[in-house]
Amino acid sequence: MALIVHKYGGTSMGSTERIRNVAKRVAKWARAGHQLVVVPSAMSGETNRLLGLASELAPSHAKSSYYRELDMLAATGEQASSALLAIALQAEGMESVSYAGWQVPVRTDSSYTKARIESIDDKRVRADLEAGRVVIVTGFQGIDPEGNITTLGRGGSDTSAVAVAAALKAAECLIYTDVDGVYTTDPRVVPAAKRLGTVSFEEMLEMASLGSKVLQIRSVEFAGKYKVPMRVLSSFTPWDIDLEEEAKSGTLITFEEDEKMEKAVVSGIAFNRGEAKISVLGVPDTPGVAAAILGPVADANIEVDVIIQNISKDGKTDFSFTVSQGDYQRAMELLRESVVPALGASEVVGNPNIAKVSIVGIGMRSHVGVASTMFRALSKEGVNIQMISTSEIKTSVVIDEKYLELAVRSLHTAFGLDKSE
């Protein structure tokens, strides 16, 4: 049979009863003859609890040593859930063994709290699989060249699972979560949202980068780079569901376009509440200004999203970009302390209460008027657009956060995603 990687999110591991159900599901797959590697997240809420304790002791800190200790602390959540799952599997009569990332090892760079995987040694895991064991590998973490424990950032267990699947050349990576697949948008915002049977890798990559919380973007990037077949499905279906039915459920992330995909101009509406807008006003309109502003931001390991530069007036211009809300204060302080004096800018202003809404679909490549339909729908609802960003298969707008749900609902309707097939 096949080598399969299962990944279970925090809600799937949220209690001993849920862990027991995960163990029963994994055992079912193993008894069917599959080799199983399982990558669990920390129990729901555990990472927040641990980081909250750190915040009580030191609300903010800039030293690398502080972030090293945050990784040491946060990594214990996945270690606990992995050991508990191994114990539950043993109670089911399955031979199992759990490993922390550093024991495999999963090697990363030294960017604490945002580390990137560089390589995975598969020898130890393969030996256990050949011996008939279910192998459990902690998600979200690894070890850097100096032997320090690192974490991959929020949602990093998805990335761990896909990276392990790539290293082992697994037949498929199944991402078990609290939803039963990828939807046209968040059903909590639009009850009429529909589950997609398949979604292209390109669309999933855009949706993940634009705020869809189903998969972490780096996991999709990994899947694309190494052509790892992925499926998103629910861990809350009965554990004893027929194996063939389960293996075809959820949403398949496919690498091949088909005829059905051509019919949908827009496949989904993605959004992100967690962004903030920063504007550097009155900077010289000369070559190198963008690099002078964004260079120090990048050096501080702050990711920038949408960028616009206004028309020059009297040799000066305004430069705006978005960052995550978590990086907002740090970026504002950095710009005010170093970039503004260096460039002679007039001031830095910000707005932490924005949201990004995006339409995504590979059908946009061959259809005209998609953006105008989007803008018309938003205008009809009185939603003002602050920034616009486009690519071949997506158009994103930055708007006031208070209009987010209205915008998503109006776009979902405008592009016919409410309609029954």
**Residues 289 and 213 grouped into a single domain:** no
Q: Which of 83, 155, 59, 79 is nearest to 113 (CA)?
A: 155
237 annotated ligand binder: no
**239 and 309 co-located in one domain:** no
The CATH number given to whatever domain includes residue 368 is: 3.30.2130.10
Identify the domain boundary among 225, 254, 283.
254
7 is in an annotated binding site: yes
Are 205 and 84 in a shared domain? Answer: yes
Same domain, residue pair 219 and 165: yes
Q: Report whether 419 belongs to an annotated binding site.
A: no
Find all residues with CB under 8 Å of 65, minimum gap 6, and list them: none
Answer yes or no: is 369 within a domain: yes
Confirm or deny that 317 is annotated as ligand binding. no
**What is the tens place of the pLDDT at every residue in 266-285?**
999 999 988 999 999 999 98
CATH number of the domain encompassing residue 23:
3.40.1160.10
Q: Is residue 385 part of a domain?
A: yes
Distance CA 23, CA 28 (A): 9
219-245 pLDDT tens trace: 988 898 899 999 999 999 999 999 999
* Number of domains, the chain: 2
The answer to whether the annotation marks 242 as part of a ligand binding site is no
Would the pLDDT of 262 be above 60?
A: no
- 78 annotated to bind ligand: yes
Residues 312 and 338 in one domain: yes
287 with 233, same domain: the answer is no
Considering the entire predicted model, what is its pTM? Answer: 0.81
Distances 183 to 7, 190, 268 between C-alpha atoms, Å: 19, 10, 7
* Domain shared by 118 and 243, yes or no: yes
Q: 359-412, pLDDT tens digit by residue?
A: 999 888 878 889 999 999 999 999 999 999 988 899 999 999 999 999 999 999
Residue 246 inside a domain? The answer is yes
Domain-embedded: residue 421: no
CA nearest neighbour of 163 among 149, 150, 152, 178: 152
Looking at the structure, do residues 9 and 97 belong to the same domain, yes or no?
yes
What is the C-alpha radius of gyration for the chain, rounded to an integer number of angstroms?
23
pLDDT classification of 310: cutoffs 50, 70, 90:
confident
| 316 annotated as ligand-binding | no
Final residue of a structural domain among 254, 277, 295:
254
* Cα(396)–Cα(418) distance, integer angstroms: 20
Q: Is residue 336 part of a domain?
A: yes
Residues 132 and 229 in one domain: yes
Residue 264 predicted with pLDDT over 70: no
**Domain region containing 36:** 3-254
**Lowest mean pLDDT across 63-67, 95-99, 148-152, 208-212:** 208-212
Is 306 within any annotated ligand binding site? no
Which of 220, 254, 288 delimits the end of a domain? 254
Q: Is 349 annotated as a binding residue?
A: no
Report if residue 115 sits inside a domain.
yes
The helix/strand/coil state of 377 is helix
Cα 110-115-118 angle, rounded to 5 deg: 85
DSSP 344: T
Q: Is 77 annotated as a binding residue?
A: no
Rounded to 5°, the CA angle 308-363-269 comes to 60
151 is in an annotated binding site: no
Same domain, 235 and 372: no
Tell whether 47 is in a known binding site: yes
Residue 262 lies in a domain: no
Going by their DSSP bridges, the two strands 230-234 and 251-254 should be labelled as antiparallel
Residues 31, 97, single domain; the answer is yes
Regarding whether 272 and 312 lie in a shared domain, the answer is yes
